[in-house]
Amino acid sequence: MARDLSPAVSPPRAAQARGGGRVTDGPAPPPRRPGRRARGWLYVLPAVAVYLGFAIWPALNTLRLSLLTWDGILPAEWAGLSNYVKIFRDSQLYEAILHSLALIIFFSVIPIGVGLLMTALLMGKVRRGMTFFRIVFFLPQVLPLVAVGITWRWLYSESGVVNQFLDLVGLGSITRAWLGDYGLALVALGLIGTWVMSGLCMMLFLAGAQKIDPSLYEAARLDGAGAFRQFRHVTVPGVRREITVAGVITTISALASFDLVFVTTNGGPAGQTNVPGLLVYRLAFNEGDIGGASALAVVLTVIVVAVVSAVRYFTRDDES
């Protein structure tokens, strides 16, 4: 008589197999508790309330005000899209947008390049004193931009340190009041942004580079890669996500810049450093056109979202 060698099947698993259901190994998942999801919502409720109150509601209110004619005192009147039509017919808007796009070079492109260069110089070579270098380069980020603007306004003045240095090296013929120069005011303003943002980019890249596996550098050295090729093929791909974060933060700072421009040049000379944020302030508080200022703020928000989305698209990680 043949002997049945098939393994024994427990009654529940046998019943599940006979019913065509999937047989799973391991213990059954714990039953769902009815109040668990509600307790999770209670944890995030304060953050959601703050976000709705200080981000979503002001944005919706700004959109509502952009459709009104209101001076901030008298009752508002419905204006429809007339505020947007007036904004787009104003040539100052296009000049201000061009100035903001030019500032992206100084606030974003150059700081990212400087940050990568400083990362290459500091990564793996300077161990002692690394904290000192980080504090020195990150210092502009912890200073109020108003204080930074006042300091650089003095440095750029006719008797400031910049002109004194040029006199010292024999370049006294090109000295001038840099922030008052019609052709160089925007460049001088942008270099302040470069000084402020470079430290932030360097800190992000250094933090990302320290997470790279050292065996990758060792393998690159065994393959004969020099310092430049190691930086290009190991360090830069390793900090790709940090580059994206730095690009988004610095681009937003360039497009939505206001306090630095207001303190240093106030849009001058002759509107050469006007930016959309400064025009919003003038419309709202100098001219009392709350509706027009709100419409311009909505347009500025759309521009920021569009440019930041483009930055994220072109710097996206294909592997993710």
Phi, psi (rounded to 5 degrees) for 25: -95, 160
CA quadruple 284, 289, 295, 296: dihedral positive or negative? Answer: negative
Q: Which two tokens stand for residue 27?
A: 């213990």
Report the C-alpha gap between 152 and 180 in whole angstroms. 13
> Residue 72 has what DSSP assignment?
S
Report the C-alpha gap between 102 and 130 in whole angstroms. 33
Q: Which two tokens stand for residue 192?
A: 């302040």
**Which residues, at least 6 apart from 102, have a Cβ–Cβ distance to it below 8 Å?**
186, 190
Report the C-alpha gap between 289 and 10 in whole angstroms. 79
Q: Spell out the per-residue pLDDT of the chain, length 320, in tens.
A: 444 444 444 444 444 544 444 555 556 666 666 677 788 888 899 999 999 999 999 999 999 999 999 888 888 888 889 999 988 888 888 899 899 999 999 999 999 999 998 888 877 665 666 777 777 778 888 888 889 999 999 999 988 899 999 999 988 888 889 998 888 999 999 999 999 999 889 889 988 888 888 898 889 888 888 888 888 888 888 898 899 999 999 999 998 889 899 999 988 888 899 999 999 999 999 888 999 999 999 999 999 999 889 888 887 766 55
Residue 20 has what pLDDT? 47
Contact 161, 272 (CB under 8 A): no
Contact 150, 236 (CB under 8 A): no
Residue 125 has what pLDDT? 60
User: Which residue's entry shows tokens 């213990």?
Assistant: 27
Report the C-alpha gap between 312 and 185 in whole angstroms. 30
Secondary structure of residue 216 in the 3-state scheme: helix
Q: CB atoms < 10 A from the CB of 49, how many?
A: 10
